[in-house]
Amino acid sequence: MKKILMMVCLSAAFLGFGISADAKKKEACFQMYSVRELIGNPEKFAQNHKEVLAKLAKMGYTSTEAANYDNGKLYGLSPEEYKAAIEASGLKVLSSHVGHNLSNQELASGDFSEALKWWDQCIDCHKRAGMKYIVNPGVNYPKTLKEADIICKYMDAVGEKVNAAGMKFGYHNHSHEFGKVEGKVWYDYMVEHTDADKVFFEMDVYWAVRGQVSPVEYFNRYPGRFLLLHIKDHRELGQSGMVGFDAIFNNAEKAGMKTLVVELEGSNKPNILDGMKESIDYIKASKFVKASYDK
């Protein structure tokens, strides 16, 4: 009788928290900027990455999005060394944030041929590291639509080079992209004036909400353009109540999402790893989040 009661209680607990039998199998990437205090530069990475990455893998994270590329290296390591370090922890290499903005002279002339050369080493590094995606975390904010056109052409050109190496190129927003340039919303202009085959968008849903727009409205307006989503809240996921994660995930297929990427810019916890665990637990417990979106 006690055994039966225990099983009933456990079942009720799982149902109450919305945890399914497949909860631990959910694919979830994490942006390594979240744990920058622990492994955010080459020195910290060398000292702490084995312990930190192992803990994150044990929590249930399945892949990584890097945030420290410099001169052909990731966190101070060769691409092969970086890939080996990530995989040794039981995680996969998925993506990386890296960018190279145009100079004022390039914006004025429209000639970005020199800027494109910078990408050669970068793309080679990320290909050797096993990346699927390279994501630009920010571009110049154009002062005119002429500059906006040049930036969009530049993004297409970078995307073409990334495609040729067997990867995909995307753009990650903050809130300022939802401001206007000569009466046009810069983010909308960017989506509409880049080639969908060359540039995808990694919408940061928190910054979109902070920019006073609805992520789901964008999914409906530009279906299929959002291959990655930054799933982020003011602190730990689900704590602020300001981001409608259920609506976002219920429309993830329309968005085109292949992988969710958890990012914490801060935490209410004394240790950022506690915040990371609370966030992945939220993902695992949410019935509206599927086990995988990359089909």
Above 90 in pLDDT, residue 95?
Answer: yes
Above 50 in pLDDT, residue 15?
Answer: no
The per-residue pLDDT for 3 is: 40
Mean pLDDT of 176-185: 98
The per-residue pLDDT for 25 is: 81
- pTM here is 0.91
The per-residue pLDDT for 295 is: 78
The per-residue pLDDT for 24 is: 58
Domains of the chain: 21-285 (3.20.20.150)
> Nearest to residue 134, comparing CAs of 96, 166, 172?
96
Query: Taking a C-beta distance cutoff of 8 angstroms, is the pair 91, 64 a contact?
Result: yes
Give the side-chain half-sphere CA count within 13 A for 150.
Answer: 23
Above 90 in pLDDT, residue 7?
Answer: no
Query: Taking a C-beta distance cutoff of 8 angstroms, is the pair 254, 222 a contact?
Result: no
**Tens of pLDDT along 21-39?**
444 589 999 999 999 999 9
The per-residue pLDDT for 247 is: 98
In whole angstroms, give the CA distance from residue 43 to residue 27: 29
The per-residue pLDDT for 132 is: 98
**To the nearest whole number, what is the mean pLDDT of the chain?**
92
**Tens of pLDDT along 237-269?**
999 999 999 999 999 999 999 999 999 998 989
The per-residue pLDDT for 149 is: 98
